[in-house]
Structure 1
Amino acid sequence: MRSPSAAPRIGRGWYLGAVLSAVLALGMCLLGWRQADLADRIGAHPVRVQGTVTRLPGGSATYSAVSYQADGGQRRATDLTLPTTAKVGDPICLEHAADDAGAVRVCDQHYPQAAGVRLAQISVPVALLLCALCLGRILRFRRAEGIRVRGERTRISATVAFATEALADGMPAITHGKRSRRRRKGGRRALR
């Protein structure tokens, strides 16, 4: 239990939440920007090639895989948005950028990984909202803490002002005009 005189503290979770949500928003922005950049590069000078489905997505940890021939070598693209009727071994039409054979997407689609773009579109606003909530809570606590500290400083300065005034007048306000007496060990007067 906290003592009444102890200063209130804000939990570290608010700071951690603000940092993590800001990092998430930044990461998702970069993912969306990367997909848009790849889509623009492919759309500028698309080169159509024939690919073969080598793996289908299965569960959360398995991505689709498509192998294709480009620039005189065998390449592989993962996590492309495949048609729902695709099976392993099926041929599939792909487009890659003329200047980069690694920038590839399925024909008639805009983004190479449309799921990543949708994830960025959903998660960036949520992460920014969470970051704003955490920062608002932190700032509200800091403002309240500043008001509390200013109140304590005012109270301390008033006490100091009262004490200095009392010292300047010979301390009658503290001792009511009487000199204070120190008690000696052993009672009022030590016996001789």
Structure 2
Amino acid sequence: MRPPTASRPSTARLGRGWYLAAVLSAVLAVGMCLLGWRQADQADRINADPVKVQGTVTQLAAGTGTYSSVNYPAQGRTLTATDLWLPEESRVGDRICLEYAGDDPGAVRACGKRYPQPAGVGLARVSVPVALLLLAFSCYRIWLHRRGAGGARRSRPRTTVAFASESFGAGMPAISHGKRSRRRRKSGRRALR
């Protein structure tokens, strides 16, 4: 009786792990789709009405969590764009050609580039198919787990009956330590009297 009860929590944890993997992969796929869609939308708006300006590099990317930033004039204001494509030899204070959308000065990219942040589009192109594959595999594993759990539920009573019949057949005492059988004998004797 112990092996089935010991394996139940581990299979339950395994099932929950696949549910978590499915949810995370779905969130990743949706998030990367939104990132790619935003980049493509900004690129289309810039293409519709491009305005070229000269921006000034104010910060360079240095490791993780630090992005490059460029200040540029747009509609009488000075705006800042972060994480744009910059030439490798760029330094703080260098001038760089930028183009922004006439109706949305926040949509800006380096001149000659298709997307504002090419790295974001490349990341979306790679990560969305991987996330969808992981989601499909997780759903398949969940289906197998549920199917196996249903089969285990159906076979559990049969296993219990098999164990009970083996224990009684081997001459082992009953679970109630013989109290039940004595009562039956007494009631049987009373009935005979």
Task: Provide the TM-score with structure 1 as the length reference.
Answer: 0.76
Name the residue aligned to 2:104.
Answer: 100
Aligned letter for 2:94?
Answer: D
Residue 72 of structure 2 aligns to a residue whose secondary structure is strand
Given that 1:31 and 1:120 are in contact with CA atoms closer than 8 Å, whether structure 2 keeps it comes out as yes
1:31 aligns with 2:18: no
For the 8 Å contact 1:31–1:117, the answer to whether it is kept is yes
Question: 1:74 is paired with a residue of what secondary structure?
Answer: strand
Give the whole-Å Cα distance in 2 for the aligned partners of 1:58 and 1:147: 55
In structure 2, the partner of 1:136 is 140
Q: Work out whether 1:3 is the aligned partner of 2:5.
A: no
Superposed displacement of residue 144, structure 1: 2.0
Q: How many residues align?
A: 162
Q: State the 1:150 CA deviation.
A: 4.2
Determine which of 73, 77, 87 is the counterpart of 1:83: 87
Residue 60 of structure 2 corresponds to residue 56 of structure 1: yes
| Residue 127 (str. 1) matches residue 131 (str. 2) | yes
2:58 maps to a residue whose letter is T
1:10 touches 1:138 (CA, 8 Å); kept in 2?
Answer: no
Q: Deviations over 1:43-75 (max 9, x none)?
A: 111000110000111101110000011111111
| 2-structure distance, mates of 1:111, 1:5 | 57
Q: Is the 8 A contact 1:46 1:96 kept in 2?
A: yes
Q: How far apart are the structure 2 equivalents of 1:16 and 1:34?
A: 27
Structure with the greater alpha carbon radius of gyration: 1
The amino acid of 1:122's aligned partner reads V
TM-score, with length taken from structure 2: 0.76
1:45 aligns to what?
49
Q: Which residue of 116, 123, 128 corresponds with 1:112?
A: 116
Q: Deviations over 1:103-137 (max 9, x none)?
A: 00000000000000111111111111111111111
Conserved 8 A contact 1:48-1:96 = yes
5+ unaligned residues in a row in structure 2: which ranges? 159-182
Q: Which amino acid aligns with 1:139?
A: W
> What secondary structure does 1:25 align onto?
helix
CA separation in 1, counterparts of 2:17 and 2:147?
18
Q: Per the alignment, in what secondary structure is the counterpart of residue 47 of structure 1? A: strand
Paired AA for residue 119 in structure 2: A
Cα offset, 1:24, TM superposition: 0.6
Q: In proportion to residue count, which structure has more helix? A: 2
